[in-house]
Amino acid sequence: MLTTDKLTIRFGGHVAVNSVSCAFAPGTLTAIVGPNGAGKTTYFNLISGQLKASEGRVHLGGRELTHLAPSARTHAGLGRAFQLTNLFPHLSVRENMRLAVQATLPGPHRRGLNLWSIWSDHREISERADAVLRQVALHERAEHAVASLPHGDQRKLEVGLLMALQPQVYMFDEPTAGMSHDEAPVILDLIRELKKDKSKIILLVEHKMDVVRELADRIIVLTNGTLVADGSPEEVIASPVVQQAYLGMAPKDAGGSTAISPDHGLAPTGAEGEQP
């Protein structure tokens, strides 16, 4: 179980995440929705440790993570998608993936340094790296430098690197933002596949409501940093707070996904970062 207990952060006078208490169970995919600037990404950053909470606590499996650095939280099983700034842009896709896989293995100091273990690690790392690259449909790009990848492939690589870590908690922050309509299904299929593993906790920030409706077991709604709705997709989509956001407007994006108008709350796909 992943829990946040009265998790809060203030930037100056602005409370970006306001006393959010929530528990996320294994085997559950929770969609986090809310207007642009509602605090969804900040909530993720507080869970993963990129930001330090002003107040409140984070626990995973009974262990308190609140005061741990991001790397220690990753080690504890929290998987936050890499940002490309964390990668080695001039190394190949395969080399970056190998580094991610390698990070999951115990170091030689714990395994005993000998040629056999180095050789078998090397083979295991290569095989696992290539398996993940096939899963994210990047196998044919394995030799390309990360810096040369088109945007959609970079997003696939971010998800692949996360999968390579085999975390207990997967946090996806708009994983298909900016992807073409050919590419987005690759990522959504991967999330669908991950969902089958009932030991995983999956958190997904996503604006496309048809995607949310299909994938989510539960939806929570953040507005102005506050948790305002929490329940099954049917309940939450029917709730006054979400209905109000939809009222009168259910614009279709190019892919036919329903997104809530930015004027009414949720922004359409790709509008992340555009503050009202």
Ligand X SMILES: Nc1ncnc2c1ncn2[C@@H]1O[C@H](COP(=O)(O)OP(=O)(O)O)[C@@H](O)[C@H]1O
Residue type (1 letter), 59: H
Largest Cα separation within the chain, whole Å, is 67
- Using rule CB under 6 A, residue 268 touches ligand X: no
Would you count residue 45 as binding Mg ion (CB under 5 A)?
A: no
Smallest separation (angstroms) from Mg ion to the CB of 17: 12
Question: Cβ 88 to Mg ion, closest distance in Å?
Answer: 25
In whole angstroms, the minimum distance from the beta carbon of 225 to ligand X comes to 7
Contacts of 208 (CB under 8 A, 6+ apart): 176, 253, 255, 257, 258, 259, 269
What is the DSSP secondary structure assignment for residue 266, as one 8-state letter?
Answer: S
Residue choice 41, 48, 74, 96 for contact with Mg ion (CB under 5 A): 41
Residue 40 vs 218, nearer CB to Mg ion: 40
Q: Is 41 in the site for ligand X (CB under 6 A)?
A: yes
* Sheet containing 63-64: order of strands: 14-24, 2-11, 55-60, 63-64
| 218 counts as binding ligand X under rule CB under 6 A | no
The whole-angstrom separation of Cα 48 and Cα 71 is: 9
Which x/- pattern, by CB under 6 A, does the window 1-40 give for ligand X? ----------x----x-----------------x-xxxxx
**Strand ranges (E), the chain:** 2-11, 14-24, 28-33, 55-60, 63-64, 78-80, 169-173, 201-205, 218-223, 226-231
Phi-psi sector, 61: left (phi>0), alpha (psi -120 to 50), beta: left
Minimum CB separation of residue 85 from Mg ion in Å reads 16
Rg, the chain, Cα only: 19
- Residue 269: name its binding partner from ligand X, Mg ion, none (Cβ under 5 to 8 Å by kind): none
> Site residues for ligand X, window 163-192 (CB under 6 A)?
none
Q: How far is the CB of 78 from ligand X (least distance, A)?
A: 17
Indicate the residue among 40 and 94 with the shorter CB distance to Mg ion: 40
Kindly state whether residue 42 participates in binding ligand X, applying the rule CB under 6 A.
Answer: yes
Beta bridge partners of 60: 2, 63
From the CB of residue 117, how many other CB atoms can be counted at a distance below 10 Å?
13
User: In angstroms, what is the minimal distance from the CB of 36 to ligand X?
Assistant: 5
Would you tell me which residues interact with ligand X (CB under 6 A)? 11, 16, 34, 36-42
Would you tell me which residues interact with Mg ion (CB under 5 A)? 40-41
